[in-house]
Amino acid sequence: MSKKILVICQYFYPEQFRINDICTEWVRRGYDVTVLTGIPNYPQGKFYKGYGFFKKTREIWNGIKIIRIPLIPRGHTPIGLVLNYFSFPISGFFWNIFAKIQADYVFMFETSPMTQCKIGVRYAKKHKVPLYLYVQDLWPENVEIVTGIHNPLIIKPIDKMVDKIYKACDEIFVTSPSFVEAVVNRKVPVQRDKVHYWPQYAEDFYKPVTMDEARSALAGNADKGTKELIQDTASFKIAFTGNIGYAQGLDVLPATAKLLKDTDIKFVIIGDGRYKSKLISEINELEVSDKFILIDRQPAEIIPDYLGLCDAAFISFMDTQLFTWTIPAKLQSYMACGMPIIASAKGETERVIKEADCGVCVDIGNADQLAKVIKELNASFKAEYGYKSRLYFESNFSKKELLDKFEQFFHRKNQ
């Protein structure tokens, strides 16, 4: 009889997170997977078309049973984000009272908010089953960065909540070696033998795509920016894909573009998020709109085609200690596509880029440095460093090997 996994994650398909692929792979491996999630609204801040409080509350996708419980959409204000963060676990509290689902394991995929994990903790305690946590965002550090709140009256209760969640977990998995140290060395320490570095992988559709293949695949796309990208065969193009939030530190790009005004270099921004409107304002204020190609959010499956039309991929962060500990999921996606990396980052991201020798890294937010290294790039940059990028990905972020490694923890509980 198939072992049953209950997955707790506030975000799930059609929202684009790696948990979608993890669950799909578990189904392929013979597990019975149920996902408790919210109503999709990320990153736009409003419910996706066709979804609502009473619409599509039950779905089956790729063999995965999906249960959607009510939450308040993120919106575009701090208050909206707070309501979103707390509405999901409140709904989950009532779901836990009436839920009749039987699971052998509980797996919590934690991107902010960590409040969602309270649902899994309650379920695992009530049903006496093993509890696994995969930490993408460290709390309360992430709260302080995203909201700007540092008041101890707010942060201390969050800290205590995190301590309780970590204590309740049988195993904790994190996305970087620095995260291991951060979790283990909290004020209330977490025993080291239950905290494991388990890096993210990239889905199988992330792979190198030639320029001709990319043009053919995107030829029918009606997006204005996509058409501009296909037609631009002369510029050196640097792509950023994914969530356009404040934490991504993209304010460095308009200033960099100003310094590159007389070069044939363009930044290709693909995605959506809370910072996008402000980014566009900054681009217009500095009169560098000709240096940007802006493309609406696209399905993850065709992102490799967009990267195939670009010469490098870009990563950046806000300048905070938390992001020096972070390996962003897009790094694995870029590397899987054989993209050389240009980064305005340090810490773990810089370490990976240097180990792989797959690109260049400058100080966070330093437009002068960024413009200088971009000017020095040549036509062979993608071929030389893109190969190294893919090679490092295959050696360090193999999907099969990482999922095999995780599955060993399920087997331990069966012994």
CA 404, distance to chain mean position in Å, is: 22
Distances (CA, A) of 157 to 114, 162, 321, 332: 13, 9, 22, 34
Q: Report how far apart the first and last C-alpha atoms of the chain are (Å, whole number).
A: 16
Check residue 415 and give its pLDDT: 54
H or E segment at 131? strand 131-135
Instruction: Name every residue whose Cβ is closer than 8 Å to that of residue 302 and which is 6 or more positions away in sequence.
Output: 217, 218
| Cα dihedral 389, 382, 362, 399 in deg (nearest 10) | -20
The answer to whether the beta carbons of residues 51 and 40 sit under 8 Å apart is yes
Check residue 411 and give its pLDDT: 83
Check residue 143 and give its pLDDT: 85
Instruction: Name every residue whose Cβ is closer than 8 Å to that of residue 274 and which is 6 or more positions away in sequence.
Output: 43, 45, 74, 76, 244, 245, 246
Q: Residue with structure tokens 């089956």?
A: 60
Q: What are phi and psi of 296, to 5 degrees?
A: -60, 165
| Mean pLDDT in consecutive groups of 10 residues from the start of the chain, 415 residues | 95 96 97 98 93 95 98 90 94 95 97 96 97 96 80 92 97 97 95 96 95 94 92 95 91 97 96 93 97 95 97 94 92 97 96 97 96 90 94 95 93 68
Q: All domains of the chain, ordered by start, with CATH?
A: 4-201+398-414 (3.40.50.2000), 211-396 (3.40.50.2000)
What is d(CA 345, CA 341) in angstroms, rounded to the nearest whole number?
11
List the 64-68 sheet strands across, edge first: 58-61, 64-68, 32-37, 4-8, 105-110, 131-135, 171-174, 195-197
| pTM across the whole model | 0.89
Check residue 414 and give its pLDDT: 60
DSSP codes, 194-232? GEEE------TT-----HHHHHHHHTT---HHHHHHHH-
Instruction: Name every residue whose Cβ is closer than 8 Å to that of residue 90 and which is 6 or more positions away in sequence.
Output: none
Q: Which two tokens stand for residue 33?
A: 């997977």
Check residue 147 and give its pLDDT: 72
Check residue 413 and give its pLDDT: 65
**Sign of the dihedral defined by the CA atoms of residues 377, 383, 389, 391, in that order:** negative
Whether the bond between 43 and the residue before it is cis, its omega within 30 degrees of 0, is yes
Position 141, amino acid: E
